[in-house]
Amino acid sequence: MNEDQIEDEDSARAALGSTLRFLRDKAGKSLGQLAEETRYDKSYLYRLETGNRISKRPVMEDLDRYYSSGDLLVRLWKLARMEVFKDQYRAFVRRESTATVMQKYMLVMPGLLQTEGYARAVLSMSPTLHEEEALEEQVTARLGRQEVLQRKPPPSIRVILDESVLRCPVAEPETWEEQLAHLLFSAALPRITLQVLPLRAGLHSLRGGSLSLLWQADGSSVAYLEGNASGQLIEEAEDMEKYRLAYDQVRDLALSPPESVQFIEGVLEEYQR
């Protein structure tokens, strides 16, 4: 095996890379020719074929059109990007991608509502992401979760955002303003309800971490509780009921959706002064 290729030949990433190589060989194209005709950098295309880089979805859509391969590459890409996530978080993301109803209490900016600039700024602070390609891979994976918002029909989502999140801007002013503006845009969408939990609400039962409650079309549900360095997927009905009730109590403490929009607008105006 080429030393640049990933070690796990059974992974979806490896399958995507080998499929890209197969399609190029079948088309009788060299990497140089492919780069010239698609306008993607040759070294970038090489890293995709060796599995050392996960692209963004539009790249796979472009290559599917180029090779007339239907949506083959997009479908393989969806599987490959899941491998970026770890352990129980991967299981949570899979369930999130098919959920019809979501309720979230967040002590961090929710990944489904992050801009690309904000995601890159936050992920770049990770002590484990030293290389640019590793960072871009995580950004791509995080933004890929937002595909669920484009489903027909989209899921019904309620997010309770702790005020502390709105008081922690990233270093780049334009990135932070764009993120706040995106929250306001998202709050105006018909299937998204955004609420802010003000600090004055005081202590509550979910203060220790972010919580996501997910319901599937068949009525099944799971919860995901996330702290600073770990996450726990909760499937037991008794535990689900406890977290659902805890979420309801926090929702009762939060500002109403219109008040929350006004609050975020106020934070944006304060920041711009």
The structural domains of the chain, with segments of one domain joined by +, span: 12-82, 87-272
Average pLDDT of 114-138? 86
Q: Any idea what the Cα angle at residue 82 is, between residues 51 and 147, rounded to 5°?
A: 115
Distance of alpha carbon 261 from alpha carbon 188, whole angstroms: 9
Residue 4: CA count within 13 A, CB half-sphere: 10
More confident residue, 256 or 52: 256
Distance of alpha carbon 156 from alpha carbon 134, whole angstroms: 32
More confident residue, 14 or 158: 158
Q: Token pair of 226, please?
A: 């996330």
Sign of the Cα torsion 226, 229, 233, 236 reads negative
Is the pLDDT at 121 greater than 60? The verdict is yes
What is the pLDDT, as a whole number, of residue 229?
64
CATH of 12-82, one of 3.10.20.30, 2.40.50.140, 1.10.260.40, 3.30.70.1140: 1.10.260.40
At the topology level, CATH places domain 87-272 in Endonuclease; Chain A (3.30.870)
What is the pLDDT, as a whole number, of residue 126?
80
Q: What is the pLDDT of residues 16-38, one digit of tens each?
A: 999 999 999 999 999 999 999 99
Backbone phi and psi for residue 106, each to the nearest 5 degrees, phi listed first: -125, 130
Average pLDDT of 188-214? 94
What is the pLDDT, as a whole number, of residue 176?
97
Residue 82: its H or E element: helix 72-82
**Which residues in 186-218 are b (16+ Cβ under 10 Å) and which e?**
bbeeeebbbbbbbeebeeeebeebbbbbbbeee
Distance of alpha carbon 175 from alpha carbon 116, whole angstroms: 9
- Do residues 70 and 40 lie in contact, with contact meaning Cβ atoms separated by under 8 Å? no
Sign of the Cα torsion 258, 194, 101, 147 reads positive
Cross-strand bridge partners of residue 210: 226
Mean per-residue pLDDT over the chain, rounded: 90
Band (pLDDT 50/70/90 cuts) for residue 186 is very high
- Secondary structure (3-state) at 215: strand
Eight-class DSSP state of 209: S
- Secondary structure (3-state) at 159: strand
For residue 160, which of 38, 29, 37, 255 has the smallest C-alpha distance?
255
